[in-house]
Amino acid sequence: MRILSVASECVPFVKTGGLADVVGALPSAMADLGVEMRTLIPGYTQVLEKLGALRKVAELGELFGGKATLQSLKLEGETLYVLRAPHLFERSDGIYLDGKGQDWADNPERFAALCRAAEAICEDGLVNWQPDVLHGHDWQAGLASYYTGRRGTARKTRSVLTIHNIAFHGIADPAKRLALGVAPADFTRDGVEFWGKISALKAGLIFSDRLTTVSPTYAQELLTPEFGMGMDGVMRMRRDDLRGILNGIDLDVWNPAEDRDIRRYKTARGKAANKRILQKEFGLAERDGPLCVVVSRLSQQKGLDLLLEALPTLISGGGQLALLGTGDAALERAFIDAGLDENVGVRIGYDEKLAHRMIAGGDAILVPSRFEPCGLTQLYGLRYGTIPLVALTGGLADTVINASPAALAMGAASGIQFNPVSVEPLRNAIAQLCGLYKRPAVWNMMQKNAMAQPVGWDQSAAEYLAVYRELVASSA
């Protein structure tokens, strides 16, 4: 089976969040099941710098005011397609944001171009490789499902769109309708119109043959006004075509026994040396007590403002905090201020290697998100014996076994969950964490459970395969 995966980010070439990890990991996970997945991404400046020489595969002609070509590269047996369109993608600053932190004004056109390239590969034989299924990710790929879907039953591919985060709608001014190729008949409430604007996400939600999201709980949450972010009505309409499939993590990259960035360990006992290093690195006293870590974007979604309020509970419980993050300026400032406390260490920035050292050296990892489609850092935590303390939402609800009295009595707990996502329950959860840490037998049991939990791709890859098979069968 042949799958074209279309996304705006892909590890190890370009990443701003978990989407990139998933897109990067899927091809090899699927290859193990006999699926050939090729990935199409934009040729951003930073991608081109990493890739070096590419092979030109096809001309796409004029796309949104400049020439575009499709280029490719084979890496470790997997083919990557890169859309070269210098006028759209070869820029300094961010992949989505300009130097002032604003969305690039032509983001709708930039990602519509990506979708046009996907359409040409899937439907017009642009390359000598015919996909069976178009697998898009988030709003940036939404129009690809629209462009192929509106070709009706004669089309060669069926499509699936994975929702990694429904908060991003891919909104475009209606004046761009013609340029984006949205037919008047589709610019309606039942189509791609969203409150008078065009939404590339909604186009994908309506026109994809199947939808998936990255955890079973988030799939349920998306049907509700609280989590659906204005798209819950559409999601309820499509509920029969929606699946929740958990993300896995790359077990080679995140493996405490082989990780070159840390003092490697096979059992949680090996964490002690990493903890000392981390304490030193963050200027924290080298003492006992639960060392909690956070590795996160600093945004409203992640609930870290709640953590700021609950910090006194951690400190009075004998704990320490080491945080690595970047994002919202007000949150950055607030954490820098919090870092004045001797028990709190803060690094503002993005640093993969430090993230590894933190997951290895921390006793616990805190993820108090208001919503979390899947979440990856709690999975890293599990694998490294770093107990996740998480909000009971989305993928955090599906991947952590809460230290309830029953789970503790059964010896099954692997973390702590709190609910609802507000300050008082978070304080209680932190107090519980500090209490459990003082009971070494219980804490060690939780670490063992955490490290034994399956967090790779095996199960999820099989679930994606089932979706692809359904799609292929439906087109026969």
Taking CB under 6 A as the criterion, the residue among 376, 387, 413, 416 binding ligand ADP is 376
Q: Would you give the DSSP letter of residue 188?
A: S
Binding range to ligand ADP, per CB under 6 A, among 189-197, 200-208, 223-231, 318-326: 318-326
Shortest Cβ 347–ligand ADP spacing (Å): 8
List the one residue from 248, 290, 325, 368 that touches ligand ADP (CB under 6 A): 325
CA distance 108 to 126: 23
Question: Hey, what amino acid is at 345?
Answer: G
For residues 150 and 124, is the Cβ–Cβ distance under 8 A? no
**Interacting positions 157-186 with ligand ADP (CB under 6 A):** none
Check residue 324 for interaction with ligand ADP (CB under 6 A): yes
145 touches ligand ADP by CB under 6 A = no
Residue with tokens 């050939």: 36
Does position 187 interact with ligand ADP (CB under 6 A)? The reply is no
- Asked if 252 touches ligand ADP (CB under 6 A), the answer is no
Q: In whole angstroms, how close is the CB of 10 to ligand ADP at the nearest point?
A: 13
x-or-dash string of contact with ligand ADP, 383-422, rule CB under 6 A: ----------------------------------------
Q: Is the CB of residue 257 less than 8 Å from the CB of residue 266?
A: yes
Three-state SS across 322-370? EEEEEECHHHHHHHHHHCCCCCEEEEECCCHHHHHHHHHHCCEEEECCC
Q: Which residue is it, tokens 């050292």?
A: 357
Mask 344-373, x = binds ligand ADP (CB under 6 A)? ------xxx--x------------------
Stretch that binds ligand ADP, among 154-162, 259-267, 320-328, 419-427 (CB under 6 A): 320-328
Task: Based on the shown chain and the rule CB under 6 A, indicate whether residue 17 belongs to the binding site for ligand ADP.
Answer: yes
**Per-residue CA distances from 230 to 145, 186, 212, 395 (Å):** 20, 19, 18, 20
Q: In angstroms, give the least distance from the CB of 271 to ligand ADP.
A: 18
Name the segment binding ligand ADP (CB under 6 A); options: 155-163, 262-270, 281-289, 324-332: 324-332
**Inter-axis angle of helices 423-437 and 440-452, to 10 degrees?**
110
Identify the bridge partners of residue 103 per DSSP, sorted by sequence position: 97
Under 8 Å CB-to-CB from 46, ≥6 apart: which residues?
13, 14, 95
To ligand ADP, the closest distance from the beta carbon of 383 in angstroms equals 12
Residue 202, amino acid = K
Which residues 6+ apart lie within 8 Å of 305 measured at CB? 331, 334
Q: Judged by CB under 6 A, does residue 375 bind ligand ADP?
A: yes
Take residue 440 and report the two structure tokens written for it: 């070494």
Does 199 engage in binding with ligand ADP (CB under 6 A)?
A: no
382 vs 49: CA distance, rounded Å = 34
CA 451, 19, 17, 50 torsion: positive or negative? Answer: positive
- Residue 430 within binding range of ligand ADP, rule CB under 6 A: no
The residue sitting closest to ligand ADP, measured at its beta carbon, is: 18
Least separation, in Å, of the C-beta of 398 and ligand ADP? 13
Candidate residues 213, 296, 343, 393; the one interacting with ligand ADP per rule CB under 6 A: 296
Q: How far is the CB of 361 from ligand ADP (least distance, A)?
A: 14
Candidate segments 15-23, 30-38, 332-340, 447-455, binder of ligand ADP by CB under 6 A: 15-23
> What is the residue type of 60?
L
Among 45, 72, 326, 453, binds ligand ADP (CB under 6 A): 326
Q: Which residue's CB is nearer to ligand ADP, number 293 or number 315?
A: 293
Decide whether 191 or 339 has the Cβ nearer to ligand ADP.
339
User: For residues 118 and 124, what is the distance between their CA atoms, to the nearest angstrom?
Assistant: 10
Q: List the one residue from 4, 7, 8, 21 that touches ligand ADP (CB under 6 A).
A: 21
CB of residue 357 to ligand ADP, shortest distance in Å: 11
d(CA 368, CA 265): 27
Compute CA 11 distance to the chain's CA centroid, rounded to the nearest angstrom.
11
Compute how many residues bind ligand ADP; rule: CB under 6 A: 17
Cβ closest to ligand ADP, residue 96 vs residue 350: 350
DSSP string, 249-290: --TTTS-TTT-TTS---SSGGGHHHHHHHHHHHTT----SS-
Q: Which is nearer to ligand ADP, 297 or 448 (CB)?
A: 297
Return the H-helix or E-strand segment holding 114. helix 107-123
Tell the smallest beta-carbon distance from residue 44 to ligand ADP (Å): 18
Beta-carbon contacts of 143 under 8 Å, excluding residues fewer than 6 positions away, are: 111, 112, 115, 180, 181, 200, 203, 204
Binding-site member from 263, 297, 448, 469 for ligand ADP (CB under 6 A): 297
CB of 188 to ligand ADP, least distance (A): 32
Q: Catalog residues that contact ligand ADP under the rule CB under 6 A.
A: 17-18, 21, 295-297, 324-326, 350-352, 355, 374-377
